[in-house]
Amino acid sequence: MKHIHYRRFPGDTIVVPMVIGVILNSLVPSFLEIGSFWTSIVHGTGALVGIFLFFLGASMNIHSAGLAVKKGSIIIITKIALSILLGFAVAFLFHDSFLGLSSLAIIGGISVANNALYSGIVATMGDDSDKGAVGITSLSVGPTVTMIALSTAGLASVSVSAIIGSILPLVLGIAIGALFPELKKILSAGVTPSIIVVGFALGANMSFAQLFAGGISGILLGVITTLVIGSVTVLMEKLFCRDGIAAAAISSTAASAVANPQALADVDARYAAICPIATAQIAASVIVTSFLTPWFAAEIAKRQKHSRKAEEEPTEA
C-alpha cells in the first residue's frame, strides 16, 4: 500500500483539522448531523477544550528558578498587559472594531503564546535562563485571561464560577503531572491528539465565508502580536534583564488560543455572533506568528550579538 507523504508546517495540528471541519460544514453540513458520537464531537467544543487544558496542564514543567522565573514573569506579564490594554482601547475607543479586529480576538490571540515554538527557539538561540522561563510562560494558557479581562471591563458577563471552571482543568492537570510522574507521561501524550480534535470541532462550526472574513485582519493580528507587542516586550526584558531573546521568542499566538472565542461564547451568548470570525482571525495569527516569530527572534539575537561584540572590543586611545 502506497503511503501519502505529508509535509508538516507550524500550527498544522489545529489548522488542518479546522480546515477539514470548515469544508464539511460548508459543503455537506447534514453529514455533521448524522448523530451519536460523531455529532457530539461537532457540538462538544466546550468539553473538548477542557480535556485539552487538562492534558496540557499535566505536560507542564513548573520547576524554574532564579533568573528564569524573573525573565518568564517579565515577558508573560508584559505580553498579557499589552494585549489587555490594546483590547480595551479597541473596545472603548473604536466601538470594538479596529480594522476588523475585536477586543475578543486581540486579547484572546495575543495573551496566549506558543510555548512549544518558544522552547524550540531558545533551545538554539537562548541560554539556560531562557529555557527555564517556559515554566512560567506556560502558566498563561486557556481562555481565563480573556474571560477575566473582558468581564472586569464590563464587556462580558462571566460569573466567578465560570472563570474558576475555565482554569480548573489546567490546575488539576498541573497538580497530577507534578505529583505523579508516570501519569504525567501518559497524559502529556494526549496534548497533540486532543488539539487535533478541538481544531476539527471548531472548524465544523464555521464556514468558508467566516474563514475568509478573518483572513486579512487575522494576518494583521499576527503582525501586531510579533512586531508591535513583541518589540515592547523585548524592551521590557532588556530593561530588567539586559536581554531580549526570550521576549522575542514568546511573541507568538498559541494554537490553543483558537479555542478562546468559543470558550467565551459558551458563557456569554453576546459573543456568539463574532465567535467564528474571531476564531478565524486567531487561527490566521497562529500561522503568521509561527513563521514571523522565529525570524524576529533571530534578528534580536543577531543585534544582541553585535552589541556585545562592540562592548568587548577595546576602545582606541
Contacts of 127 (CB under 8 A, 6+ apart): none
- Rounded to whole angstroms, how far apart are CA atoms 193 and 136? 24
- Rounded to whole angstroms, how far apart are CA atoms 283 and 215? 9
- Rounded to whole angstroms, how far apart are CA atoms 124 and 108? 28
What CATH architecture applies to the domain 35-302?
Up-down Bundle (1.20)
Residue type, 160: V
- Rounded to whole angstroms, how far apart are CA atoms 29 and 24? 6
- Rounded to whole angstroms, how far apart are CA atoms 136 and 232? 19
Exposed, middle or buried, 30 (CB in 10 Å: 0-12/13-18/19+)? Answer: exposed
**CB-CB contact of 266 with 224 (8 Å):** no
- Rounded to whole angstroms, how far apart are CA atoms 288 and 255? 11
- Rounded to whole angstroms, how far apart are CA atoms 123 and 112? 20
Exposed, middle or buried, 295 (CB in 10 Å: 0-12/13-18/19+)? Answer: exposed
Chain centre distance of CA 81: 15
**CB-CB contact of 195 with 17 (8 Å):** no
- Kindly give the confidence (pLDDT) of every residue in the chain, 317 residues in length, as a single tens digit, with 9 standing for 90 and above: 677 777 776 556 766 887 888 889 889 989 999 988 889 888 887 788 788 778 877 876 666 557 777 888 888 889 989 999 999 999 899 988 888 899 999 998 998 887 767 876 776 777 777 776 776 777 677 777 888 888 877 777 767 777 677 678 878 888 898 889 889 899 988 878 887 887 788 778 777 766 676 778 999 999 999 999 999 999 998 888 878 888 898 898 887 788 888 888 888 888 888 888 898 898 888 878 877 888 898 888 888 777 777 766 665 54
The predicted model scores a pTM of 0.70
Question: What are the cell numbers at 275?
Answer: 465567535
